[in-house]
Amino acid sequence: MPGSKPLLAVLNGAMPPRPPVWLMRQAGRYLPEYRALRAEKGGFLALATDPQAAVEVTMQPIRRFGFDGAILFSDILMVPWALGQELTFGVGEGPRLAPALVEADPDTLTPDLTRLDPVYETVRRVAAMLPAETTFLGFAGSPWTVATYMVAGAGSKDQGGTRLLAYRDPARFAGIIDRVVDLTVEYLSRQIEAGVEAVQLFDSWAGSLSPAQFEAHVIQPNRAIVDRLRARHPGVPIIGFPKGAGAKLVDYAAGVAPDAIGLDETVDPAWANAVLPAGMPVQGNLDPLLLEAGGDALDTGVRRIIDALSGRPHVFNLGHGIGQHTPIAHVERLLAVLRN
């Protein structure tokens, strides 16, 4: 029940004495136990598609730190992989998708939705073993961010190729977005049915868009996902995280209407508190590099965020994913400040 799960309670509007906490990428490379398991499995995709291993990775930060939320160990590019693109993770290169849709016709892809089955099995197993007070979070990439990888075949500095395609051939690009929306709704719905209690939509590249493109490629597709998920699973909180949105956070909150909104580290939390809808839960927004730096500056930064957001429901988190070089002692210090 939400009352026994602090994070879930906050996503439903509660304001406990201290904010619950989880960290984006909390199951990852800064943990020696994760690095050992990934080396054993031989790569990220092998790890993410092995339910036994993915369960272990999901649980590692819960055992070590006792976070209030466990985030499913997976990747935002599982959706394009299921849509028929081939997915690889090269050493030091980041993920790659083939064929890149900047030239290839998406109609030539052969979807294989069974590629997502290991994810649902991972969810079922984690849900059965989490501590009673821990909220289980599922996630997916938002359509714009996922589409940037699908079109370019890899990450890019400014998403220029995808933005250009969206301008030059809006109908073709809309077809790609529609495919992602449809499968994302199904993907998150299946995660919820398997046991996650809230979901997050990651729009990591939302900050690269003009206001008109932001409306078309961020607000409208995410609103479609939110509306369709709510119709299937009323009461399951949805967190929207449009990284880099800046002042467009106001439009995102109104247009997408998520249950909670994530703030990246560039957002002044006092400003966000002043302009976002009253009572809307917020999540964030410590700079991951400040966590890596540690020291008194970390303590000050944590308290500044808590003070700025003390008047509304608040889930403490980073402004993006935890860095791989972050000392474990700094995470422990962060938790000590929050819990004291």
97-112 per-position pLDDT tens digit: 999 999 899 999 999 9
What does the block give as tokens for 52? 């036994």
Query: pTM for the whole thing?
Result: 0.96
Range 80-90 average pLDDT: 93
Per the annotation, the verdict on 25 as an active-site residue is: yes
- Name the average pLDDT for the chain: 95
Q: Rounded to an integer, what distance in angstroms lies between the CA atom of residue 43 and that of residue 31?
A: 16
Helix axes 170-194, 160-168, angle to 10 degrees: 120
Predicted confidence (pLDDT) per residue in 9-51, tens digit: 999 999 999 999 999 999 999 999 999 999 998 888 999 999 9
Active site residue 124: no
Indicate which CATH number applies to the domain containing 196.
3.20.20.210
Which residue is catalytic, options 149, 179, 187, 264? 149
Number of domains composing the chain: 1
User: Per the residue annotation, which of 68, 75, 259, 287 is the catalytic one?
Assistant: 75
pLDDT at 161: 93
pLDDT band of 92, cuts 50, 70, 90? low
Active-site residue identified among 25, 96, 179, 223: 25
Give the residue from 249, 244, 297 showing the smallest Cα distance to 276. 249
Residue 18's pLDDT is 94
Question: Is 149 designated active site?
Answer: yes
pLDDT at residue number 292 = 98
Sheet containing strand 314-318, edge to edge, reads 69-71, 135-141, 198-203, 238-242, 260-262, 282-286, 314-318
* Residue 252: active-site member: no
The predicted pLDDT at position 1 comes to 44
Task: Report residue 89's pLDDT band, with 50, 70 and 90 as the boundaries.
Answer: confident
Confidence check: pLDDT of 157 > 90: no
Q: The domain containing residue 69 runs over which residues? A: 2-339
Whether the per-residue pLDDT at 61 is higher than 50: the answer is yes
Q: Give tens-digit pLDDT for 228-254.
A: 999 999 999 999 999 999 999 999 999
**115 labelled catalytic:** no
